[in-house]
Amino acid sequence: MSLFGLGKMLIGRTKVTLAASKLFIDGHHLEAFDMVHSYILKDENLKHVLLFFQATTQDIANIFAAMRIYTCDEVHKGEAIPVAALLNLDTLSYLIRAERGQVNKDEAYSSAQKFLRTGALVFQPEKKYRIDHGL
């Protein structure tokens, strides 16, 4: 992917994160989820993660619901953590694996929450797995 293409993709994902977070903050959780899910199905990288794990809409809804409970609907710097978790390749992949029982669920949700709070560029718990499995 070209640098321009990468920039365009990141801008699109940022816009969706902010728009869905606004819906979420305003109490429109279902609409926020629908917006995020729709974007995941359009974004080739996020969709690739779903296909790789054969994740369903129900899997994504379960992750969203669990992140809402685990984070108490936390918002950090204008981004709803449950929304941002689904729109990040590494946290999405890691949380799908947690739902599948491949990694400790409590640890996965805690790590994802901490990562999204810090704004770090790399989510270390999932980076190696994604590289090793071509994600």
Domain boundaries, the chain: 16-132
pLDDT one-digit tens code per residue, 26-44: 999 999 999 999 999 999 9
Name which of 118, 120, 128, 67 is nearest 96 in CA terms.
67
Q: Rounded to whole angstroms, how far apart are CA atoms 110 and 87? A: 17
Name the residue with tokens 């070209």: 2
Q: Quick one: tokens of 25?
A: 């903050």
**Does the structure show a pLDDT above 50 at 66?**
yes
| Averaged confidence pLDDT in the chain | 87
Q: Pinpoint the alpha helices (H) of 26-123.
A: 29-42, 44-53, 57-71, 81-86, 89-99, 105-118
Percent of the chain with pLDDT over 90: 70
The token pair at 16 is: 């969706």
Dihedral angle of Cα 8, 12, 15, 20, to the nearest 10 degrees: -170
Is residue 6 scored above 70 in pLDDT? no
Are residues 62 and 18 in contact, defined by beta-carbon separation less than 8 angstroms? no
pLDDT at site 123: 75
pTM of the model as a whole: 0.84
Q: Is 76 exposed, middle or buried (0-12, 13-18, 19+ CB in 10 A)?
A: middle
pLDDT (average), residues 4-29: 79
